[in-house]
Structure 1
């Protein structure tokens, strides 16, 4: 059984043998949450200490944090991992940064991160051809009809893993997420082709959750590789997947140190070559992240579902300044750009003053 190495830690061999994770919805009382471990049914305890609650008006009037529409946000110094709002608020958290919420396609940040770890650990050729199964195509197509984005893959397409990673991160393809999860699961555990898709991709989802644990993302749980509500998983809603702004910032800090992942999330477009019906076709994917049009912004990812609202994870870099901004559940898709710029400008002034 494969166990990907991480610094000073190894993954549990039991977790990859679990066919499914047993979950509770967001909002379960703290007393009812199961302790999440690396084996069997698991749930994370909420982060230890919770800080005093501030309204956005309080943050603005007392501490100068700009008013934004995001219901959850964090601004992190990417150089040292410190929460800029925490420093300013005398060790109090920024606005709802530890609240467990749905994060839509920001889930794909972990999908891409784990995929790249597997590529390196198992010495998988990044240009190896991946196969789009009929199940992935049909079930993803139905999910996209409900809510979602697509890389426009079709059943029986053959495409390199390198191109798939771009289809995952630029157009935010739910189909690309499922193709990656199904194909890479076969490297982790012997594939069984005659069982339902959710069981075939479960080894990859288990790895997503274990990497979250190892990164101390204690308010995070993944139930699928794309973060969108879908009927694929036994008719369940996506309440079983959740994270928080602080955990996502922690993940993004790891991503900053990954040249391959940063190269992907900083691209405005990518052209993929796909073998379809014995012909080679070209697909051009454009990045959904409009922040890349502005100077200094160089990643990470957009997200949206009706329940999660518009979300955005952003990296700003200029000279020695490195700022990670996570905003969740904004008023609209368009206003999330404004929210991000407001928080970025505030953080730049703060760092320059220091």
Structure 2
């Protein structure tokens, strides 16, 4: 089962790794059955793309825009501070939480109304509070996702997702944005909330999360759905099962039913075929001459079930993950923890499942 290399020792690992890059469409049996125009499925911990369809095509996001508005508000603002609702926020069209002009609401409550009940008025109030205007906040949104998160094909003109020709994103960008947002505990808590008692000056009710995946898919933890006529039905969802968290994005489905059907198929495919494994930063690796190394950070990799991997530690301080057909599927720079060399080669067994 071992493959020995001349310049390093091999560590045998009892789990599966998907090949480098995304899964080819031809390998996925439901490719032609998705109704959404664009879609993507990624491993949230490793960032691995497990499936994609037109994932870099520019699309209109509708209310999944609010994912960015929400995480930006959490990072830029103070959740307990009071926000005064403007006439502009009060009069915005579309889905609302019925804020009144002059009403004072905490920033956290506005974010809850934004992400749970998809309130466009909450989005405008947040934008004006943080940046003074919707336009200024939209510019901040675009700069934030490009410079902080690292996406390239996204541009925002408003905080809520109402249609604009210049308000666009891609399935790939939205997956990357959502992966970033879900690292924030406050964001995770809000988007996973199924229902919340809402007591405002103009509306007293119980609001229910618009993302129905929270009710109909095991392990769903968020995130956001959307719809405007020119965008079609859009949906972003995260699901955790055991140690694996996947994020899926579907854009421009012809109906809500089709969007949820596509989402179910993506997650069924993902969890039936893949799992996430951890190479811990606490592991100590040794090269052929006795040099000892560790990782600077935990290394998450996505594996296919029932496959074999090798870890190759080079004398130059690199950890290489070798998968099927001798394919390089991951690489990390190691840091040295001991400047001691021996002349003996070493070959030993390490299980990441212990």
Residues matched between the structures, number: 254
Q: Return the offset for 1:273.
A: 3.4
Matched, 1:99 2:22: no
State how far apart, in whole Å, the 2-side matches of 1:239 and 1:260 are. Answer: 32
- Structure with greater proportional strand content: 2
Q: Identify the match of residue 115 of structure 1 among 73, 84, 99.
A: 73
SS of the residue 1:155 aligns to: coil
1:226 aligns with 2:160: yes
Gaps of 5+ in 1: 1-50, 86-93, 187-199, 230-237
Query: Which residue among 248, 255, 260 is the counterpart of 1:337?
Result: 260
1:315 counterpart = 2:238: yes
Query: Which residue of 286, 301, 304 maps to 2:208?
Result: 286
- Residue aligned with 1:304, SS: strand
Counterpart contact for 1:130–1:158, Cα < 8 Å: yes
Q: Deviations over 1:119-153 (max 9, x none)?
A: 2xxxx3x1222111122212x0xxx2xxx211121
Report the Cα distance in structure 2 between the residues aligned to 1:264 and 1:253, rounded to whole angstroms.
15
With the length of structure 2 as denominator, give the TM-score of the two structures.
0.68
1:203 offset after TM fit, Å?
A: 2.7
Gaps of 5+ in 2: 1-20, 276-303, 306-354
Q: Which has the higher helix share?
A: 1
Is the partner of 1:112 in helix, strand or coil?
helix
Once residues 61 and 204 of structure 2 are traced to their aligned partners in structure 1, the CA distance between those partners, rounded to angstroms, is 31
1:31 maps to which residue?
none
Structure 1 residue 226 displacement after superposition: 0.5
Q: Distance in 2 between matches of 1:343 and 1:179?
A: 35
CA contact (8 A) 1:316 1:323 kept: yes
Structure 1 residues 53-132: aligned runs within 5 Å: 59=25, 62-66=27-31, 67-85=33-51, 94-119=52-77, 124=78, 126-132=79-85
Query: Which segments of structure 1 move beyond 3 Å, counting only runs of 4 or more?
Result: none
Contact 1:159–1:273 at 8 Å: present in 2 too? no
Q: Equivalent residues in 2 for 1:179-190 (5 A)? A: 179-186=125-132
User: CA, structure 1 residues 290+260, in 2 after alignment: closer, same or farther (shift >3 Å)?
Assistant: same
Report the Cα offset of residue 290 of structure 1: 0.5
Does 1 or 2 have the higher relative contact order (CA < 8 Å, sep 6+)? 2
- Give the 3-state SS of the residue equivalent to 1:152 in structure 2: coil
Greater C-alpha radius of gyration: 2
CA distance in 1, matches of 2:135, 2:162: 16
When the two chains are superposed, the root-mean-square deviation of aligned CA atoms in Å is 2.1
The offset of 1:330, in angstroms, is: 0.8
